[in-house]
Every structure is written in C-alpha cells, then in structure tokens.
Amino acid sequence: KNGLVFLGNLDVTEAIRNESIGVLASQIAVYPEVRDALLALQRGFRRSPGLVADGRDMASRIFTNALLKVFLTASVEARAERRYKQLIAKGISARMNVLLQDLQERDARDIQRATAPLKQVEGAYLLDTSKLSVDQAVEQVLSWYQVASRK
C-alpha cells in the first residue's frame, strides 16, 4: 500500500530490505520444504487487476503464468554500489568490499541451489540495469507491458 509493505498491521518496509534479511533469505531458500510452504501464500498475493512481484524466482516458480516476466539484472559492482549508497543515506555504516562479497556469495548460492536455481526463464525479457536509472528501467518495463497487454 503506497509503496509500503505490511505484515498484518506492522510496516516492515525497511526491515525486509535490510542486508542481513537478504542474506538470510538466500540461505533459507535452499530448503525445498520452506519454499513449498511459502508457495500458496505467495501466489495468494495476486489480485485483480494484477501484481508487480519482485524476487529472485517470481517468474520461474511463483507466478509462472504472468503476463509479463522480466529478468532484472545488474553487475555485482553496480548492485553493491547502489546498496552502499542506500545504506549510507540511511545513516547505516557500510563497507563496499563486504557488500560486494555478500552479493557474490548470495548470487552463487542462488544460482547453484538444487531447488529452483536462479535463472532467466523462457519468455522473460532480460533487463540489465547496470547503467540505467530507475526511471529508464521503469520506462522499459512499461513499454514491454504495453506490448504484452495487447496480445
């Protein structure tokens, strides 16, 4: 709601974007039982007129019949720099080399996991945002959506 994420009545927007939460999510995602338990819950978030879902396996596992699938990527260096700037802007101490290593480890874990490894699914558009602004990325996704919604 209004760009915020709620768990019940609790605003968890900042908490779920915490670096340690991302690392934990990647570590927990290797367990098929956890992934299976969350599947129905995650799919239950889809409501008319639609949903924009952000996550490492939204198109490959959760919303496999989505009207538009985008495999969003960026170089690990670009992602580490963005994360560094976000943390510093919030007054949170951060070290670029630690962020870079954490992202590299998370990518390796997610790509190599036995259950639903991270990959671009067939039919998904590839959008490398390494050198794009947020506005440019949004513009491209909206353009693809316009095409997909006319089919």
**At residue 150, does pLDDT exceed 80?**
yes
Domain residues for the domain of 140 are: 6-149
Tell how strand 70-73 and strand 125-128 pair up: parallel
pLDDT average, residue stretch 62-81: 94
For the chain, report the end-to-end CA distance as a whole number of angstroms.
Answer: 29
| In-domain check, residue 1 | no
| In-domain check, residue 48 | yes
Whichever domain contains 141, its CATH number is 3.40.50.300
Q: Dihedrals φ, ψ of 39, to 5°?
A: -55, -55
| In-domain check, residue 57 | yes
Report how far residue 106's alpha carbon sits from residue 100's, in angstroms, rounded to the nearest whole number.
10
**At residue 32, does pLDDT exceed 90?**
no
Question: Which residue in 105, 121, 119 sits closest to 27, CA to CA?
Answer: 105
pLDDT average, residue stretch 49-74: 87
Count of structural domains, the chain: 1
Q: Dihedrals φ, ψ of 7, to 5°?
A: -115, 100
